[in-house]
Amino acid sequence: MNAPVVPSPRAAGDAPVLAIDDLTVTLGTRNGPARAVAGVDWSVAPGRTLALVGESGSGKSMTVLAATGLAPRSATVTGRVRLLGRELTTMSEPERRRWRGRHVGFVFQDPMTTLNPVLTVGRQVTEACEEHLGMSRRQARARAVELLDLVGIPAPDRRVDAHPHQFSGGMRQRVVIAMALACEPELLIADEPTTALDVTTQAQIVELVADLRRRLGTAVVWITHDLGVVAGIADTVAVMYGGRIVEQGPVDAVFGAPGHPYTRALLAARPRPGAAGEELAAIPGAPPSPLALPDGCAFWPRCPVRGDARCAHELPPLTPITPGHRVRTFYPLPDGPSTGDGPSTGDGPSTGDGPSIGGGPSIGGGPATGDGRRVSGDREQLHREDR
């Protein structure tokens, strides 16, 4: 990994906080089994941020819910999940419960619905401390004041006794973040924490999490479909489509030289500041239903590259193109500056259809690469400020 190492008080070596290996989740639905997640693996190191990117229904939320035992009852989960070196999947639910909240904190999407309307925020922020750390009600309340102060809520000693509906959306999300960090967990999972907020508030929440990560050394898994946020906050990124990872690697590499047509399309579909008036490139078609996933590449029906029949029937493997940068395609794109030194998959570029990539009219002439570089530039700057 080429991202700078952020020193963390608690990062004992680089052993991952959470490591997921070959995770598969199948949901029992009224219309038959739906494979929401298939063979996903990634890990996140102490003090680092992993961004999990994808459209709605790509399985990114289900991955973390299933990993921590929060999947719906109808779900069948297989694979390995190691949290701080302990295997979660073979744990009994009561045991796993003691790890949730204590070692992993969650921030969910909509702060309007994730807080219980009839309990005071103070109670909700630190009730997990009573459970896991054996705090008394009084200690818990004092800790709640501290935490509310930490996340930037004014007059925390008064607000601690207020109910959620007395807070604005952004303030509620701060409360949720305080709640997630109450027991000083090693890992924070943020599931689209800014999607339900307005733009200015979004930036504040992103900044708050980045800041807290630095101060507390917490590892972060940030689930989002907003690539702008990814560029600003993440060290590594995993792009998911149809329940599988299609591309994974350091943010600079993935943004600078996206190897998968889907990643390129996502980058092209992103609104950019300073590009006002330019038409946004939409990705034609819709994501596949988890009820009827194809045998081959799930993106094939929408793919502007559209390899050949092989893509439709055979699942491309997740192939490394540079160290730490893996792409699930038979035809890793050759046009990125850093792609050249990656090991070629061999037969890919020789296929006639293969290299017609950038010309796909629907993805807007492929300015993705150049833009990616610009973003990674911003990122470096951000990191300099960090230090």
Partner 1 sequence: MGRFVLRRLLQSVVVLLGVTLVVFLLLQLVPGDPVRVALGTRFDQQTYDALRERSGLDRPLVVQYLSYVGHALTGDLGVSFRSGQPVTTIVLERLPATLSLAVTAVLLALLVAFPLGVLSAVRSGSFVDHAARVFSQFGVSVPDFWTGIMGILLFAGVLGWLPPSGYVALTDDPAGWASHVALPATAVGLVTASILTRFIRSSVLEVLAEDYVRTAEAKGLRRRVVVVRHVLRNALIPVVTVVGVQLASLVGGVQLASLVGGVIVIEVLFAWPGIGRLTYDAVQARDYPVLQGAVLFVATLFLLTNLLVDVLYARLDPRIRLR
Partner 2 sequence: MSADHPAATVTEPGTVRRTVTALRHDPPAVAGTVVLLVLLVVGLAGQWLAPAGTNDVDVDQMLRPPSGAHPFGTDELGRDVLSRVLVAARVSLQVGLVSVGIALAVGVSVGLLAGWYGGWADNLLMRGMDVLFAFPVLLLAVAIVAVLGPGLVTAMVAVGVVYTPIFARVTRASVLAVREQVFVRAAVSIGASDLRILRRHVLPNIAAPLIVQTSLSLAFAILSEAALSFLGLGVQPPAPAWGRMLYDGRGFVTDAWWLGFFPGAAIFLTVLAFNLVGDALRDVLDPRQLTVSEARRSSR
User: Which residues of this chain interact with partner 1, rule CB under 8 A?
Assistant: 68, 70, 94, 97-102, 104-106, 108, 110, 113-119, 124, 127-128, 131-132, 163, 165-166, 176, 179
Considering CB distances under 5 to 8 angstroms, the limit depending on partner class, which of partner 2, partner 1, none binds residue 146?
none
CA angle 110, 114, 117 (to 5 degrees): 120
- Is residue 290 at the binding interface for partner 2, with CB under 8 A as the rule? yes
171 vs 254, beta carbon nearer partner 1: 171
| CA pair distance 197, 113, nearest whole angstrom | 13
Considering CB distances under 5 to 8 angstroms, the limit depending on partner class, which of partner 1, partner 2, none binds residue 99?
partner 1
- Is residue 366 at the binding interface for partner 2, with CB under 8 A as the rule? no
Task: State the minimum distance, in angstroms, from the CB of residue 350 to partner 1.
Answer: 49
| Identified binder of partner 2 from the candidate list 19, 37, 64, 153, rule CB under 8 A | 37
21 vs 110, beta carbon nearer partner 2: 110
CA angle 376, 287, 241 (to 5 degrees): 45
- Is residue 56 at the binding interface for partner 2, with CB under 8 A as the rule? yes
- Is residue 116 at the binding interface for partner 2, with CB under 8 A as the rule? no
Nearest CA among 201, 382, 347, 366 for reference residue 270: 366
Mark the segment that binds partner 2 (CB under 8 A) among 58-66, 76-84, 154-162, 201-209: 58-66
- Is residue 110 at the binding interface for partner 2, with CB under 8 A as the rule? yes
Q: How far is CA 237 from CA 7, 9, 81, 324, in A?
A: 20, 24, 18, 11
For 377, the token pair is 């530039």
100 vs 213, beta carbon nearer partner 1: 100
Enumerate residues 59-88 that contact partner 2 by CB under 8 A.
59, 61-62
Considering CB distances under 5 to 8 angstroms, the limit depending on partner class, which of partner 2, partner 1, none binds residue 335?
none
For 127, the token pair is 């009730």
DSSP state of 279: P
Q: How far is CA 264 from CA 54, 157, 255, in A?
A: 12, 48, 9
Question: Half-sphere exposure (CA, 13 Å, Cβ side) for 357?
Answer: 24
Considering CB distances under 5 to 8 angstroms, the limit depending on partner class, which of partner 2, partner 1, none binds residue 372?
none
| CA pair distance 196, 201, nearest whole angstrom | 10
Is-contact 269 302, C-beta < 8 A?
no
70 vs 216, beta carbon nearer partner 1: 70
For 374, the token pair is 């610009």
Instruction: Collapse the DSSP code of 229 into the 3-class scheme (helix H, G, I; strand E, B; otherwise coil) and give the result.
Output: helix
What does the buried/exposed string (b/e) look like for 277-311 if buried means 16 or more CB atoms within 10 Å of the residue's CB? eeeebebeeebbebeebeebbbbbbbbbbbbeeeb
Task: State the minimum distance, in angstroms, from the CB of residue 165 to partner 2.
Answer: 18
| Identified binder of partner 2 from the candidate list 57, 69, 193, 307, rule CB under 8 A | 57
Q: What are phi and psi of 100, to 5 degrees?
A: -70, 140
Mark the segment that binds partner 2 (CB under 8 A) among 157-165, 250-258, 268-276, 283-291: 283-291
| Identified binder of partner 2 from the candidate list 11, 27, 135, 227, rule CB under 8 A | 27
Considering CB distances under 5 to 8 angstroms, the limit depending on partner class, which of partner 1, partner 2, none binds residue 310?
none
For 194, the token pair is 């800014």
- Is residue 254 at the binding interface for partner 2, with CB under 8 A as the rule? no
Task: State the minimum distance, in angstroms, from the CB of residue 29 to partner 2.
Answer: 5
Instruction: Collapse the DSSP code of 203 into the 3-class scheme (helix H, G, I; strand E, B; otherwise coil) and give the result.
Output: helix
- Is residue 36 at the binding interface for partner 2, with CB under 8 A as the rule? yes
Is-contact 368 375, C-beta < 8 A?
no
Residues at the interface with partner 2 (CB under 8 A): 25, 27, 29, 34, 36-37, 56-59, 61-62, 109-110, 113, 243, 289-291
